[in-house]
Chain A
Amino acid sequence: MPDKKNINLVVNGKPYELLIGKDVLPSDTLAQTLRDTLGYLGTKIGCDRGACGSCTVLLNGQAVLSCTTLTVECDGMSVTTIEGLEDPKTGQLHPLQQAFIDHTAFQCGFCTPGIIMTTKALLDKNPNPTEDEIKKALAGNYCRCISHYKVLEAVKAAIQGEKHGE
């Protein structure tokens, strides 16, 4: 007896209306909906148990785990995925994305969208974090290729870039 008939969701600025029972099931996770229903394949499902952080997206600006969030509970909310970072008009990468490329802050890249989204949420709230604050914020994003030290470089460079107005 679901008490809602549909879900209104804004993904990367684009509004969607999803019918419960047709487009989404009450048991669908946001990660499933983003990838399987809406085609945002940038969001990765790693452990699917909330431990690895690969599925991190911004929900109303907060970095959350889309694998342990039910889509039905996101009605009226705004989601940002990795696809939402580039400039919609020019297609230019977000400076954070560019910094990750410039510093080769990944090897296989599977964890990268999650790491970038967590970083984005951090910088939105605190544009000038200390190294310790960056480490703490990223403590829920695991990289099995051990690229964390490169990630730190990339994030710090991105912060510097912002400061210099790049």
Chain B
Amino acid sequence: MKPFNHVDAKTVKQAVTLLKKNQGKARLIAGGTDLLSTLKDKILPDYPETVINIKTIPKLNQITDDGSGLKMGALAKLEEIAQSPVVKEKYKLLTEAAEAVATPQIRRMGTIGGNLCQDVRCWYYRYPHSVGGRILCYLKGGKGCYALTRENEYHSIFGGWRDTSPPCASACPAGVDIPSYVSNIREGDLTQAAKTLLKRNPLPSITGRVCPHFCEQQCNRAEFDESVSVRDIERFMGDYILDKADDIMQAPQTDTGKSVAIIGSGPAGLSAAYYLRTLGHRVTVFDKREEPGGMLTYVIPAYRLPKDMVKRAVEAIEHMGVTFKCNVDIGKDITLDNLKKDFDSVFIATGAWMPVSIGLKGEESTRFCLDFLININRGITETPGKKVLVIGGGNAAVDVAVSALRLGAEQATMACLECQEEMPALPWEMELAVEQGVTVMPSWGPHRVLTAEGKVKGMELIRCTAVFDEQGCFAPCFDDTVKETVEADQILLAVGYDTDLTFIDPKSSLKRKQGLIPVDPNTQATNLPGIFAGGSVTHGPATVIEAIASGRKAAAAMDGYLTGKAQAQDTDEKTEEPFLTFNSDYLTKTSRVQMPKRPVAERSIAVEDTLGLDLNDIAAEANRCFNCGCVSVGPSDMGVVLVALGAQVEIAGPGGVRTVPIEDFFGSLRTTLTANEMVTEIQVPQPPEGARQTFLKFRLRESVDFPIVSVASVITIKDGICQDARIVLGAVAPCPVQATGAEKVLIGRAIDDGQATAAAQAALEDAIPLEKNSYKVTIARELVRRAILAAESSGEMR
């Protein structure tokens, strides 16, 4: 073990104060049997600097029964509980469960509090670091859950648990909870899917067409067969949302009376407008061009993103009560200062639209790519030239080259510094370029423009040997002995865009730095109170989804600014997450859905190339999602019987003491204890008179082993009729599962073998075993049946 400090706590208060003081870098030690093993195996994400011994707190190990219920101090040893006469007399379940924990030595050392708080007991998670390195499972911040497809007798048959953000959602700049909305689709609930999606992305019809989908690059499915086509699912949902926009994107119920001006109606501005409006603010969006949408409207070609789509997305936001004012040039028509006076807060999202000079010989005779693309989107569809050369390797370069060919150019060539693998254009964009007949020339740098009689004749290129230096910074190296000449009558530069901050008064105190507006990365706030900024104007050209993310982040912070509410509103309301479900056929190897496309000959400048997919295709694709999570189970035997007995857990923290029902304590894979809390006492109400308590634990060896399945039941039978029943299953789900279905079958009925079998059936009705552990369902059913019959036979005896 790595060294740590060790402190003896004398009181509960001292222990929690020490926890708080150590700011997450301390752990409590009671029996120590679990903690020291996790430390030896380096399982915890952060190794504690201090270990606080709570065994030195007096009187925390007492077991008392005041007639109405049992109280066990958190430090009561499992052996003390197992041997306590008072426990044995009335709370037989506790005696039996305590006796079934691990080994005599561990029961002699381990405490009830520690048993409830022990760390997750999955052997992949627990794999010792010292033996060939740690297994970085999902729970430890890795990508996958090893138990899904491998040995999983100690794992769930009732779904998993999403303890941390799954890899796809983590990779998404906007943090869209992809597995959740895909699950909603799988369950057939498109309305809920839409709601989940809109929480993080108000423009899915657009991102479903143009987003690079970083999520797919991290998809666990990619290692299995092919990544899930989040893009196509998102596009379908986006179109669905626009079709039902009146229902799904409604005006807010509240009105805060606060007004917000947004400068720029690109994705960042639209996103901020949507979220601010949702929060009840009065939003006006200004744009200097004729139509809203920014680059979505003016730059991205219609064959990739139909302009009708952008219009409908803007209209949906407009219908929520957002005002759009186009043809307003901020800085000329209204100054930023005046805008700040007229509105309570301002969001600047003006983007990056200016050409970047690359210092090329003859650069003045080249053309800026955006001018060309903007013209097309304004309906000016001139043929740019017979032979077109595009400098650049990104999506804009592809757009220019493809558009040129579709407008009648005979030849379009793309030359870029990057080698084939490094080209920033997306793979499917490159595919489009190749299909269209674009000649791609990677690893070539522009050297000089060739002209004759004042006309462009072509360009001399030199070999680019490397684009980035060892640190990954842009530092191109050339070999000018290797040259190539490309004939061209039109050269377009698609090598980047610059911002334009001339709309800000040069004397303004709004901070600017290297052509950008610097902002607080957490709030998008500028140096001036009430003025926020986001999108490309704050970080240079980036993706649509990054702009959307910054708009949402700004909206949350602006809401805090406007209403005076505490900031950090940027959290989704924490919904009680049910167990994750897995579909039965998710492990069959399948191919990713293929988006149908128009034949190359039929593609044009104005009509979308792709044809879209229907709900059947999308549902099939949604079915491919692993719904990544952790499928380990709650390891505590005591926890299962305490749920059956309806116990309460007393918890002390720096703020005082709280008591929670045990089932809430085990609300998820991990307990509800927060960072600076500790369990102090377990309170168990007295079971009903004559109730029969049964604990059954099925395991591979009668000692040491954790259960494959356990069952705890408290059943009251009077005159042969079941009055009350509480049946709880252990080791089958992330936390103890109350078999309410089985209880319903029993209560009010005479108990016989048939009834017990029916109840057992009902107990496991919702089971969704993994591929290799369905036998646990059979075992669990049999244990439930036996537990019920045990209660029945004891009734007979009486």
Given A56-B105, A64-B105: A1 touches B7 (CB 8 Å cut-off): yes
Asked whether B564 is an interface residue with its Cβ less than 8 Å from the other chain, the reply is no
Identify which of B29-37, B287-295, B471-479 touches chain A: B29-37
Neighbour of A72 across the interface among B6, B37, B104, CB < 8 A = B6
CA distance A53 to B55 in the complex (A): 22
Given A50-B33, A64-B109, A68-B37: A26 touches B104 (CB 8 Å cut-off): no
Q: Which chain B residue has the least Cβ–Cβ distance from A71?
A: B6
Asked whether A136 is an interface residue with its Cβ less than 8 Å from the other chain, the reply is yes
Q: Nearest Cβ in chain B — how far from A123, in angstroms?
A: 14
Tell me which residues from 1 to 17 in chain B have a Cβ below 8 Å from any Cβ of chain A: 1-8
Q: Are B703 and A139 in contact (CB under 8 A)?
A: yes
Q: Nearest Cβ in chain A — how far from B129, in angstroms?
A: 13
Asked whether B527 is an interface residue with its Cβ less than 8 Å from the other chain, the reply is no
Q: Are A26 and B3 in contact (CB under 8 A)?
A: yes
Q: Which chain A residue has the least Cβ–Cβ distance from B18?
A: A1
Q: Are B5 and A140 in contact (CB under 8 A)?
A: no
Contact with A along B678-710 (1 / 0, CB 8 A): 000000000000000000000000111000000
Given A69-B32, A70-B29, A140-B703: A26 touches B5 (CB 8 Å cut-off): yes
Asked whether B53 is an interface residue with its Cβ less than 8 Å from the other chain, the reply is yes
Q: Are A2 and B6 in contact (CB under 8 A)?
A: yes
Given A4-B8, A51-B103: A64 touches B32 (CB 8 Å cut-off): no
CA distance A72 to B36 in the complex (A): 13
Neighbour of B105 across the interface among A1, A48, A53, CB < 8 A = A53
Asked whether B328 is an interface residue with its Cβ less than 8 Å from the other chain, the reply is no
Neighbour of A2 across the interface among B7, B31, B106, B108, CB < 8 A = B7
CA distance A21 to B36 in the complex (A): 19
Q: Nearest Cβ in chain A — how far from B424, in angstroms?
A: 50
Tell me which residues from 41 to 56 in chain B have a Cβ below 8 Å from any Cβ of chain A: 41, 50-51, 53, 55
Asked whether A63 is an interface residue with its Cβ less than 8 Å from the other chain, the reply is yes
Q: Are B109 and A140 in contact (CB under 8 A)?
A: no
Asked whether A65 is an interface residue with its Cβ less than 8 Å from the other chain, the reply is yes
Neighbour of A65 across the interface among B3, B6, B33, CB < 8 A = B33
**How big is the B interface, by class?**
20 to 34
Asked whether A62 is an interface residue with its Cβ less than 8 Å from the other chain, the reply is yes
Q: Are A27 and B4 in contact (CB under 8 A)?
A: yes
Given A68-B36, A73-B55: A63 touches B104 (CB 8 Å cut-off): yes
Asked whether B244 is an interface residue with its Cβ less than 8 Å from the other chain, the reply is no
Q: Which chain A residue has the least Cβ–Cβ distance from B128?
A: A49
Number of A interface residues at 8 Å Cβ cutoff, please give it. Answer: 32
Asked whether B102 is an interface residue with its Cβ less than 8 Å from the other chain, the reply is yes
Q: Which chain A residue has the least Cβ–Cβ distance from B48?
A: A27
Asked whether A137 is an interface residue with its Cβ less than 8 Å from the other chain, the reply is yes
Q: Nearest Cβ in chain A — how far from B14, in angstroms?
A: 11
CA distance A88 to B452 in the complex (A): 110
Q: Which chain A residues lie closer than 8 Å to B658 at the CB level? A: none
Q: Are A49 and B32 in contact (CB under 8 A)?
A: no
Tell me which residues from 108 to 166 in chain A have a Cβ below 8 Å from any Cβ of chain B: 118, 136-142
Q: Which chain B residue has the least Cβ–Cβ distance from A138?
A: B104
Asked whether A3 is an interface residue with its Cβ less than 8 Å from the other chain, the reply is yes
Q: Nearest Cβ in chain B — how far from A65, in angstroms?
A: 5
CA distance A140 to B100 in the complex (A): 12
A–B pairs, 19, beta carbons within 8 Å: A1-B50, A3-B8, A26-B51, A29-B36, A51-B704, A56-B105, A62-B108, A63-B105, A64-B108, A64-B109, A65-B109, A68-B36, A69-B109, A70-B53, A72-B6, A73-B32, A73-B55, A136-B104, A139-B704
Chain A interface (Cβ < 8 Å from any Cβ of B): 1-4, 25-27, 29, 48-51, 53, 56, 62-65, 67-70, 72-73, 118, 136-142
16 additional contacts (CB under 8 A) given A49-B40, A141-B103: A2-B7, A3-B8, A26-B3, A26-B4, A27-B2, A29-B36, A48-B40, A51-B704, A64-B109, A68-B33, A68-B109, A73-B6, A73-B55, A138-B104, A140-B105, A140-B703
